[in-house]
Amino acid sequence: MWQRKQSLFLFLAAVLSFMTWLFPVITYERATDAFTFRTYGLFEQGGAAVADVGVKVPFAVVLTVLGIALLAIIFLFKDRPRQIRFLRGTYLVMLGVIAFLFITDNSIQGYLEQGGQVVSHYEASFFIPLVMVVLAFLAERAIRSDEALVRSADRLR
């Protein structure tokens, strides 16, 4: 199970999903103020949560569930078609997370621009879902190649 490359890709994607807790998504600078958007909320420079801005999508929860799902997909190695179906479902969730990150970024930026011009810097957790999609795609290709190999071996029997 672990010697297969798709298991490695899925494991890396799951680890990256959990790593979004550690890194900020976007940092905003407005005059002398600095704000950090993390997967679990918007925080001021001192670490206090911004009370007026509530993150509408619980990114931390969604990404944690996504990481657990990716780990669970590894253990479906005996049923490759089912593994592919579950993996495609995680694609939709990952793409939804990416879309809602953009929407939330625009919303937060609009809120912060009420107090002056805002400069935003994209951090590691903003790009992690994109890397996760690529790793999931590579895992699906590897699963498909395994399935093709098994089917060709069945034809020879």
What's the DSSP call for residue 115? G
Give how far Cα 140 sits from Cα of 77, 95, 132, 146, 148, Å. Answer: 12, 16, 12, 10, 12
For residue range 102-134, what is the model confidence (pLDDT) as tens digits? 999 988 898 888 878 999 999 999 999 999 999
For residue range 57-84, what is the model confidence (pLDDT) as tens digits? 788 899 999 999 999 999 988 888 899 9
pTM given for the model: 0.86
Domain ranges of the chain: 5-151
Q: Give me the helices (H) in the chain, please.
A: 5-19, 59-74, 80-112, 124-156
Q: How far is 43 from 53, CA to CA, in rounded Å? A: 9
Query: Which CATH number is correct for 5-151, 1.10.287, 1.20.120, 1.20.140, 1.10.20?
Result: 1.20.140
